[in-house]
Amino acid sequence: MLRVLTLSTLFPDATRPNFGGFVERQTLSLAAHPDVDLKVVAPIGLPPGILGNFRHYAPLAKLPHRERWKGVDVHRPRFTALPFTQGRHHAAALERALVPVLDAIRADFAFDVIDVSFFFPEGPAAVALGKRYGVPVSIKARGSDIHYWGEAPATAAQVRKAGQGAAGLLAVSAAMKADMVTLGMPADRISVHHTGVDQDRFRPVDDRASAKVKLGVQGPLVIAIGGLLPRKGHDVVIEAVAALPGVSLLIAGHGPARADLEALIARLGVGDRVRLLGALPHADLPALIAAADVSALASESEGLANVWVESLACGTPVVITDAGGAREVVTSSEAGRVTIGDPLAFAAAIKDLLGSPPARSATRAMAAGFTWERNTATLYAHFVALVAGYPSRG
């Protein structure tokens, strides 16, 4: 029996049920493996004193320190996240907070490997803890953990050192692996580990027109799913759709750029066919995606976005920028188009797909290799190899 300790600051809780959904899905799939015993440690970073501008942390502070989450034992220790320090001290604070927690866990659960599902701040902390307990550490890079924390002056050295000190590394795409090597991480320790998609839930609908009616839409529909952040490029997609008369756009997600996007929609006069839906439960996404003719995302950077693969599984082609693993997903015209992050280019690509849509079955076939079964089998084999080859066992 392989005993896995999964460490992730990106894990959902009662106040944030959609937070880190891709980490949760991977973790639950691994926990269901017949030869795996797994516990989760999902640390919560809080400022020193939830006062004034930090009151929005209060719901997090009230979460239980330990609970069963969808059948998995989850510990939620707190660590001090000093504001206005660009994350410089987060990893050290996390390591200090985790020592007593992991000491207590290890008394009854002698974990064989520490599985880190996001590079920062848990990566640097985990490498130090792996030495403490004599177990290998695996760190998975997903996107912003490399493209932001791995390049930010206050944290770049910590990310690079963690990558060099981990026994094994995972990347969500070959492009991500290349970025990690560029940062100075050892290529021979990095394996590409693609995401999965629930092919039973994400699938085409029989009647797309009826599905659109339920969403209050008639005619061609484009959807965009992702946080309302400048780097996601929702403004590009909005301007592209504005140039396509009769085409509707629904954007699912929340974030600080909402006010700017609302202002853009008003300025372009497309409020009758462009709507911001806010954050949607993941359970609602299959119906939204399957109703759409095109799924569009003009990201400046990505690892390998889950929504790309989920869209293909629904038979909905994508229009995306050449970011991260885009060309590992769009490998033929049936999957969609890869273009530049420019409104006119996006408009042309969307118009092309609307005018000559690929068969939904052909689009869905492009997602056939992205399954949670494959994701779990690859992850399990990766951990078994790390444990077998690790020189020191605690």
Would the pTM of this model clear 0.95, i.e. be above it? Answer: no
Domain locations along the chain:
2-196+372-389, 208-365
In sequence order, what are the residues at sequence separation of 6 or more whose Cβ sits closer than 8 angstroms to the Cβ of residue 348? 339
| pLDDT at res. 52 | 43
Overall CATH class of domain 2-196+372-389? alpha beta
| pLDDT at res. 21 | 87
Q: Do domains 2-196+372-389 and 208-365 have the same CATH topology?
A: yes
Q: Which residue has the tokens 């996007």?
A: 261
DSSP 29-66: HHHTSTTEEEEEE--EEE-SS--GGGGGGHHHHTS-SE
Give per-residue pLDDT as tens, 204-225: 999 999 999 999 999 999 999 9
Q: Which residue has the tokens 């190899």?
A: 385
Bridge-based pairing state of the strands 66-69 and 72-75: antiparallel
Give per-residue pLDDT as tens, 270-309: 999 999 999 998 899 999 999 999 999 999 989 899 999 9
Give per-residue pLDDT as tens, 80-103: 998 889 989 999 999 999 999 999
Please provide residue 169's backbone torsions phi and psi, each rounded to the nearest 5 degrees.
-130, 145
Mean pLDDT of the region 249-263: 96
Mean pLDDT computed over every residue of the chain: 94
| pLDDT at res. 393 | 45
Mean pLDDT of the region 239-260: 97
Closest CA to 306 of 290, 334, 282: 282
374 pLDDT band, cuts 50/70/90, is: very high
Least confident of 44-53, 170-179, 381-390: 44-53
Q: Secondary structure of the chain: what % helix, strand, coil (to 5)?
A: 40, 20, 40
In sequence order, what are the residues at sequence separation of 6 or more whose Cβ sits closer than 8 angstroms to the Cβ of residue 389? 136, 167
| pLDDT at res. 58 | 84
C-alpha distances in angstroms, 390 versus 75, 109, 130, 181, 382? 26, 19, 11, 22, 12
Overall CATH class of domain 208-365? alpha beta
Mean pLDDT of the region 75-80: 96
392 pLDDT band, cuts 50/70/90, is: low
